[in-house]
Amino acid sequence: MPNILVVDDDEELLALIKKFLERYDYDIDVAVSGTEMDAAMANKAFDALILDVMLPGEDGLSLCKRVRAASSSQPIIMLTAVTETTDRIVGLELGADDYLAKPFDARELLARIRALLRRSMQHRHAAADKHPGLLFGSWRLDLAKRELRSTDMTLIPLSSGEFEVLLAFLEHPQRLLTREQLIDYARGSAHEVFDRSIDVQISRIRRKIETDTRNPEIIRTVRNAGYIFTMPVESTP
């Protein structure tokens, strides 16, 4: 039974989300503030976190940044009444994996949660059995642990979304990939997301693996076409 923490100051909405998701065998905890979120996470491990942007005191974007700094792979879905693309980009820049604008259909939230958890589990088991590690240059991506490490074993934190996008590149190296293809490979063909989110994830990955982010050599942009992961990739135990 997956454990999900939902943080929102709308207690009526929290009650509705909790009741709906529990019908599908999810264990749901709720919090109305960052303080309550901290207390919940201190006592329990959660498989995913759903964060409202507009919260009293510390807002959801700040909470997302703080959670991501402590947990590199925990899936985070942001909820907001604001639909501006800029606000979505900020959330993704801070490490959120998905974004859902209010008002939303509870079934769409369920689908987003299922997709995030399914991808995490599938890659952790099936992909790890196929090739437990992928080497490129001075980096190794551990598929079982969902970790990126340099040759000196320094851990490079990746959000769940960054991991999926990087894995998509490593499974299709030295090929032009459009934004649409990257969305399909990283999130599934049924997942609709605006193109800019892929750019944000790639920008975050570049800051972690490129020597010069202004002139990236590993993930190159092909103007008006997409991206190419330029390095050869090898499987390793």
Summarize pLDDT for 87-117 with one digit per residue, the tens: 677 888 888 888 888 889 999 999 989 888 8
- Domains detected in the chain: 3-115 (3.40.50.2300), 131-236 (1.10.10.10)
Summarize pLDDT for 151-191 with one digit per residue, the tens: 888 999 888 788 889 999 998 999 998 888 887 777 654 44
- Measured in residues, the chain has a length of 237
In the chain the first and final C-alpha atoms are separated, in Å, by: 31
Q: E strands, the chain, where?
A: 3-7, 27-31, 48-52, 76-80, 98-101, 133-136, 139-142, 147-150, 155-156, 176-177, 219-222, 226-229, 234-236
Record the pTM.
0.61
